Amino acid sequence: MTTGLRFLVLGSAAGGGLPQWNCNCANCAAARDTSSGLLLQTQSSLAVSLDGETWAIFNASPDIRQQIQQTPHLHPKGLRHSPIRSVVVTNADVDHIGGLLTLREKQGFDLFCTATIGGVIDANPIFGVLDPAIVRRHAIRLDETFFPLEGLEARIFAVPGKVALFLEGDTPDLGLEGEQTIGIEFLVGGRRAYYIPGCASLPDWLCGRLHGADLVFFDGTVFADDEMIRAGTGHKTGRRMGHMPIMGDEKGPGSLHSLSGLEIGRMIYVHINNTNPIWRDGPERKAVTAAGFEIGHDGMEIGLA
Ligand code: MLT
Ligand code: MN
Ligand code: ZN
Q: What is the pLDDT of residues 103-121, one digit of tens each?
A: 999 999 999 999 999 999 9
Residues listed for the chain: 305
Mean pLDDT in residue range 180-201: 97
Distance CA 281, CA 263 (A): 26
Q: pLDDT of 272-285, one tens digit each? A: 999 999 999 999 99
Nearest CA to ligand 1 atom 7: 15
Strands 55-58 and 45-49: antiparallel
* pLDDT exceeds 60 at position 83: yes
Q: Which CATH superfamily is domain 5-304 in?
A: Ribonuclease Z/Hydroxyacylglutathione hydrolase-like (3.60.15.10)
Which listed ligand is nearest to 12 at the C-alpha?
2
Please report the pLDDT score of residue 227 as a whole number.
98
Which listed ligand is nearest to 279 at the C-alpha?
3
Q: How confident is the model at residue 1 (pLDDT cuts 50, 70, 90)?
A: very low
83 preceded by a cis bond (ω within 30 of 0): no
* pLDDT exceeds 70 at position 2: no
Portion of the chain with pLDDT greater than 90, in percent = 98
Q: Where do the structural domains in the chain lie, given as residue ranges?
A: 5-304
Please report the pLDDT score of residue 67 as a whole number.
98
Instruction: Give ligand 1 pocket residues (Cβ under 6 A).
Output: 14-15, 93-95, 165, 198, 241-242
Nearest CA to ligand 1 atom 9: 15
* pLDDT exceeds 90 at position 50: yes
Taking each continuous run of H as one helix and of E as one strand, the counts in the chain are 8, 14
pTM: 0.98
Is the separation of the CB atoms in 100 and 130 below 8 Å? yes
Other residues' Cβ atoms within 10 Å of the Cβ of residue 141: 11
Distance 95 CA to ligand 3 centre (A): 16
Distance CA 53, CA 46 (A): 15
Strands 145-149 and 152-158: antiparallel
Task: Compute the mean pLDDT over every residue in the chain, rounded to the nearest whole number.
Answer: 97
Mean pLDDT in residue range 178-190: 97
Q: How far is CA 67 from the centre of its chain?
A: 14
Q: pLDDT of 138-157, one tens digit each? A: 999 999 999 999 999 999 99
Please report the pLDDT score of residue 305 as a whole number.
82
